[in-house]
A and B are shown apart, each in its own frame.
Chain A
Amino acid sequence: MTEALLSVRSLSAAYGMAEVLFGVSLDARRGEVVALMGRNGAGKTTTLKAIIGMVEASAEALTFAGHDIRRLPSYRIARLGLGYVPEERRIFTDLTVQENLEVGRRPARDGREAWTLERLYAIFPNLAEMEGRRASAMSGGEQQMLTIARTLMGNPDMVLLDEPSEGLAPVIVEQMAEAVIAMKATGIAVLLCEQNLHFAAAVSDRAYVIEKGAIRFSGTMAELEATDAVREAYLTV
């Protein structure tokens, strides 16, 4: 087993007095797609935000690519190569598609091939057609693609992807799955928050199941699909 790219040990977080996470631990290796599954309110989004430094949190250990990222501001974490795609997309709607991508642009690390607009447009052909359009004039699915593309412009080694399939039409969800697989093919690791088991199963190697702020299951995607008890207890609505 190679060393983990992202390692989270006993992560806890709270909004004011309301505790949300109780000692979450998880790992992701280079090039691996890991799903973090759970219902609404289970703590998926908070886990991602705590990792990226957008929510106050404490942990026994929180490392990315060998760096302790517990006290780092989010821009420093992003510069280490950890990208974040928020659930609510947070596209800059006043900016054009191209300008949105420009905001995300960071130089590539370690002499690897940088993401260019051309490479991104190959994965997200829709975006190429609307380069100069204001992001406010895009559909939800297009915005979701833009937000992923924007994060890729930062040449991350890993992307935290928060519910990319939420609220999208099945055909778009299909495209999302292809995009995740394409990212994986370039060597990018993904930590994927999902409720949609079908989507997660299509792209992920391993899965964690979170409920009430704690990890309840950890295993390969195949094991999760085979374990009816876990699925019924924590995932079905």
Chain B
Amino acid sequence: MDPAFIVIQSLSGLASASSLFIIASGLTIVFGVTRIVNFAHGSLYMLGAYLAVTIVPMLLEVDRSLPMFLLGVLLSALIVGVIGAAMEIILLRRIYHVPELFQLLATFGVVLIVQDLVIKLWGAVEIPGPRAPSLRHGVFIFDQRFPAYELFLIGVGLVVLGLLWLLMQKTRFGVLIRAATQDRDMVAALGVNQAWLFTGTLFLGAFLAGLGGALQIPRVAVNTQMDISIITEVFVVTVIGGMGSVPGAFVAALIIGQLQAFGILIFPKITLVLVFLLMAVVLVIKPWGLFGKPDAAAGRAVLPEGLLSLRRFGTVDNVVAGVAIIVMLALPVFGDNYMVKVGIEVLVLALAAFSLHFLIGVGGIVSFGHAAYFGIGAYAAGLLVTRLGFAMEPALILAPVIAGAFAALFGFFIVRLSGIYLAMLTLAFAQIVYAVCFQWVGLTGGDNGVVGVWPSSWAASRQVYFYLALAFTLSAIIALRHAIYAPFGYALRAARDSATRADAIGIDVRRIRWFAFTLSGAAAGLAGGLYSFSKGSIDPTMISIPMSVDLLVMVLLGGIQTVIGPLVGAAAFHSIKDFFMPLTDFWRMFLGASIIVMVLVFPRGIAGAASLLTERFRPAPKPVGTPA
């Protein structure tokens, strides 16, 4: 290869690395102190970009100069910093002590709200930004033209690194941040008001996200997808570097920048896959990232408690379950076509939610990418039918097999990790699947997906397909439920409650977790297969992060503690969604706000709240201690 070309390519890698670092450093600092993985960090980045395309042109009207451009960028970042501080005071402050999964979900609620707000304020059309005055030209390096603005970005990255180093090493605020990253309770016992430290940290983190976003406006047209696309990249950077480590974020950003710059030459379509593969490899070798510390990840449980109420069905439950089954059996007879359609979707989602609940509640494996297996099942069925001419029956049988195979492959890596790193890796694998389905247009139809995934003629009527779906989902749910009560389920719960103790009594923790992951993936795949035939099509939304979040919300809505919870949750969630979505342009905002309310008010879900109510009627346990 031409050496000049290599230099240019690595310089452009450095420019992307610089942007990545600025954004990722904010995320990693916030995580270090608050222990919250802030999903909304990408939204803050997007807000920075939108604010900049609004503010910078106004300032350039006054004086078309580089200082004005930079002033606009800084102002945007400052506003985002204030938004971040407000987010800490309004939301994060209330969720420091809830399980990590709820924190992830609550901050994802903010993502949804910001998405709708941005569309409302700036519209859905992408907005091209102004170029930076005095940096519009190209610089010639080895006779190759290289944009001056990219060189400028490299410089900004280094300046940010230097300033962060000074802040962290030379100021009291920095010392407190580093101390709190290690032991925030002890910092409080020494008289430091954590609340202000955390607000300050969020301001800093959000400022960096906003700065990263504002600096992008000469490079890319600002659009409403910026948040999710950057957050996955930034997650990867912080995870590879080690969550909470600023130097780690720097090194990881450098590696990813170069990987993308050169990867695009070799595998132009799948650079994203390369990046996630790198992350998987790093996590297998160093489970806490390059510069991470185990305590940062393993300090807290992802869930306070898993499945608690393992009580077998009593008479009441049997009656309720019986009535529910009779209602479902009667639905196609008495309900209209629309109700049957919704019924099929509820059944399918109930199975998907149940399989996720099996992982989370029983296995303690918090997957943030369960849509991957649902989607693989759907795509497997859809592609087998449309591309290879399979009939519905073998396709429906192969869907869970293929999804299970992928779950086994990904699960092999995933079950080696724990806590937040595990959740991040499940997300990464889901994004790989998403990226492949999205980018491999020839096979999958890309964004449009594939249509014509119809059931066999005998099952073509909605009513018949409903019974088919009912038979499949009921048997799968009953089978999974059996697994919960089998010795396997008990071993899995033992491993969830204490992996080391389970290990000590001879349970092969990794192996049973791996098996559970595979089983759960296969069940989700069956649900996906059934779903694709009910829709008649497949598309990438079935694998997207919002789908994974929907499934998590169903599980949490129903409550993790009960076996029946996910079924209740799926039915409730899908009915609500189906009812409200056509009524409002702000479904995402509504969903986001609901998620936040759920995390704040009903951390135990509907079924959990119900069991709490029944507990009220039992004699209360002896109060602990004397009342103050």
Q: Chain A: residues with CB nearer than 8 A to chain B? A: 10, 12-14, 17, 19, 21-23, 52, 54, 57-60, 70, 73-75, 78-79, 83-84, 86, 90, 92-95, 99-100, 102-104, 106, 150-151, 154
Judge whether B624 is part of the interface by a CB distance below 8 angstroms. yes
Residues of A within 8 A of B158 (CB): none
Interface positions of B from 355 to 384, Cβ below 8 Å from A: none
Residues of A within 8 A of B172 (CB): 102
Main secondary structure of the interface of B (DSSP, over half): helix
B191 and A12: CB pair below 8 A? no
Q: Which of A75, A83, A93, A94 contacts B188 (CB 8 A)?
A: A75
In chain A, what residue has the closest Cβ to B185?
A54
Kindly list 19 other residue pairs between chains A and B, CB separation below 8 angstroms, not including A94-B181, A102-B175.
A14-B625, A17-B624, A19-B625, A22-B625, A54-B185, A59-B626, A70-B628, A74-B185, A75-B191, A75-B193, A92-B179, A94-B178, A94-B182, A95-B179, A99-B178, A99-B179, A100-B179, A104-B190, A106-B191
Judge whether B176 is part of the interface by a CB distance below 8 angstroms. yes
In chain B, what residue has the closest Cβ to A59?
B628
B176 and A74: CB pair below 8 A? no
A14 and B624: CB pair below 8 A? yes
Interface positions of B from 157 to 201, Cβ below 8 Å from A: 172, 175-176, 178-179, 181-183, 185-194
Judge whether B487 is part of the interface by a CB distance below 8 angstroms. no
Residues of A within 8 A of B191 (CB): 75, 78-79, 104, 106, 154
Task: Kindly state the separation between the CA atoms of A104 and B175 in the bound complex, as whole angstroms.
Answer: 11
A150 and B190: CB pair below 8 A? yes
CB distance from A125 to the nearest CB of B (A): 23
Shortest beta-carbon contacts, A-B, top 6: A12-B625, A78-B191, A90-B186, A58-B625, A58-B628, A14-B624
Task: Kindly state the separation between the CA atoms of A99 and B179 in the bound complex, as whole angstroms.
Answer: 9
Residues of B within 8 A of A52 (CB): 189
Contact sample, A vs B, 10 pairs, CB 8 Å cutoff = A14-B625, A19-B625, A58-B625, A78-B189, A92-B178, A94-B178, A102-B175, A104-B191, A106-B191, A154-B191
Residues of A within 8 A of B178 (CB): 92, 94-95, 99
Task: Kindly state the separation between the CA atoms of A17 and B187 in the bound complex, as whole angstroms.
Answer: 28
Task: Kindly state the separation between the CA atoms of A95 and B179 in the bound complex, as whole angstroms.
Answer: 7
Task: Kindly state the separation between the CA atoms of A56 and B621 in the bound complex, as whole angstroms.
Answer: 18
A74 and B625: CB pair below 8 A? no
Judge whether B506 is part of the interface by a CB distance below 8 angstroms. no
A154 and B190: CB pair below 8 A? yes
CB distance from B286 to the nearest CB of A (A): 18
Task: Kindly state the separation between the CA atoms of A92 and B179 in the bound complex, as whole angstroms.
Answer: 6
Q: Which of B182, B621, B627, B628 contacts A92 (CB 8 A)?
A: B182
Task: Kindly state the separation between the CA atoms of A68 and B178 in the bound complex, as whole angstroms.
Answer: 32
B185 and A23: CB pair below 8 A? no
Task: Kindly state the separation between the CA atoms of A154 and B188 in the bound complex, as whole angstroms.
Answer: 12
Residues of A within 8 A of B627 (CB): 58
Q: A13-B625, A23-B626, A102-B172 are in contact. Are A74 and B188 (CB under 8 A)?
A: yes
Q: Chain B: residues with CB nearer than 8 A to chain A? A: 172, 175-176, 178-179, 181-183, 185-194, 621, 624-628
A90 and B628: CB pair below 8 A? no
Interface centre among B188, B190, B621, B626 (most CB of A within 10 A): B190
Residues of B within 8 A of A154 (CB): 190-191
B188 and A58: CB pair below 8 A? no
B183 and A92: CB pair below 8 A? yes
Residues of B within 8 A of A73 (CB): 188
Q: A92-B178, A99-B175, A102-B175 are in contact. Are A78 and B190 (CB under 8 A)?
A: yes
Residues of B within 8 A of A79 (CB): 191
B188 and A10: CB pair below 8 A? no
Task: Kindly state the separation between the CA atoms of A154 and B175 in the bound complex, as whole angstroms.
Answer: 16
CB distance from A20 to the nearest CB of B (A): 10
Q: Which of A12, A78, A102 contacts B626 (CB 8 A)?
A: A12
CB distance from B177 to the nearest CB of A (A): 10
A93 and B182: CB pair below 8 A? yes
Residues of B within 8 A of A60 (CB): 626, 628
Task: Kindly state the separation between the CA atoms of A100 and B172 in the bound complex, as whole angstroms.
Answer: 11
Residues of B within 8 A of A104 (CB): 190-191
Residues of A within 8 A of B183 (CB): 90, 92
Residues of B within 8 A of A102 (CB): 172, 175
Task: Kindly state the separation between the CA atoms of A154 and B187 in the bound complex, as whole angstroms.
Answer: 12
Residues of A within 8 A of B628 (CB): 58-60, 70
Residues of B within 8 A of A100 (CB): 179
Residues of B within 8 A of A86 (CB): 186, 189
CB distance from A146 to the nearest CB of B (A): 12
In chain A, what residue has the closest Cβ to B182?
A92
Q: A75-B192, A92-B182 are in contact. Are A103 and B626 (CB under 8 A)?
A: no
In chain B, what residue has the closest Cβ to A154?
B191
CB distance from B136 to the nearest CB of A (A): 44
In chain B, what residue has the closest Cβ to A60?
B626
CB distance from B306 to the nearest CB of A (A): 16
Task: Kindly state the separation between the CA atoms of A30 and B363 in the bound complex, as whole angstroms.
Answer: 53
CB distance from A66 to the nearest CB of B (A): 18
Q: A23-B626, A70-B628, A92-B178 are in contact. Are A103 and B192 (CB under 8 A)?
A: yes
Q: A14-B624, A58-B625, A103-B187 are in contact. Are A75 and B175 (CB under 8 A)?
A: no
Residues of A within 8 A of B193 (CB): 75
B189 and A84: CB pair below 8 A? yes
CB distance from A101 to the nearest CB of B (A): 10
Q: Which of B176, B194, B621, B624 contacts A103 (CB 8 A)?
A: B176
Residues of B within 8 A of A21 (CB): 625
CB distance from A123 to the nearest CB of B (A): 18
Task: Kindly state the separation between the CA atoms of A83 and B191 in the bound complex, as whole angstroms.
Answer: 8
Residues of A within 8 A of B176 (CB): 103
Residues of B within 8 A of A99 (CB): 175, 178-179
Task: Kindly state the separation between the CA atoms of A14 and B621 in the bound complex, as whole angstroms.
Answer: 14
Task: Kindly state the separation between the CA atoms of A86 and B185 in the bound complex, as whole angstroms.
Answer: 11
A103 and B625: CB pair below 8 A? no
B190 and A54: CB pair below 8 A? no
Residues of B within 8 A of A94 (CB): 178, 181-182
CB distance from B339 to the nearest CB of A (A): 46
In chain A, what residue has the closest Cβ to B193?
A75
Task: Kindly state the separation between the CA atoms of A104 and B187 in the bound complex, as whole angstroms.
Answer: 8
Residues of B within 8 A of A75 (CB): 188-194
Residues of B within 8 A of A10 (CB): 626
B192 and A54: CB pair below 8 A? no
CB distance from A176 to the nearest CB of B (A): 20
Residues of A within 8 A of B194 (CB): 75
Task: Kindly state the separation between the CA atoms of A83 and B172 in the bound complex, as whole angstroms.
Answer: 20
Residues of B within 8 A of A54 (CB): 185, 189
Task: Kindly state the separation between the CA atoms of A21 and B185 in the bound complex, as whole angstroms.
Answer: 22
CB distance from B48 to the nearest CB of A (A): 30
Task: Kindly state the separation between the CA atoms of A106 and B194 in the bound complex, as whole angstroms.
Answer: 14
Task: Kindly state the separation between the CA atoms of A102 and B180 in the bound complex, as whole angstroms.
Answer: 13
CB distance from B518 to the nearest CB of A (A): 34
Residues of A within 8 A of B187 (CB): 103
Task: Kindly state the separation between the CA atoms of A84 and B192 in the bound complex, as whole angstroms.
Answer: 13
Residues of B within 8 A of A22 (CB): 625
B175 and A103: CB pair below 8 A? yes
CB distance from B350 to the nearest CB of A (A): 33
B186 and A78: CB pair below 8 A? no
In chain A, what residue has the closest Cβ to B172?
A102
Residues of B within 8 A of A150 (CB): 190
Residues of A within 8 A of B182 (CB): 92-95
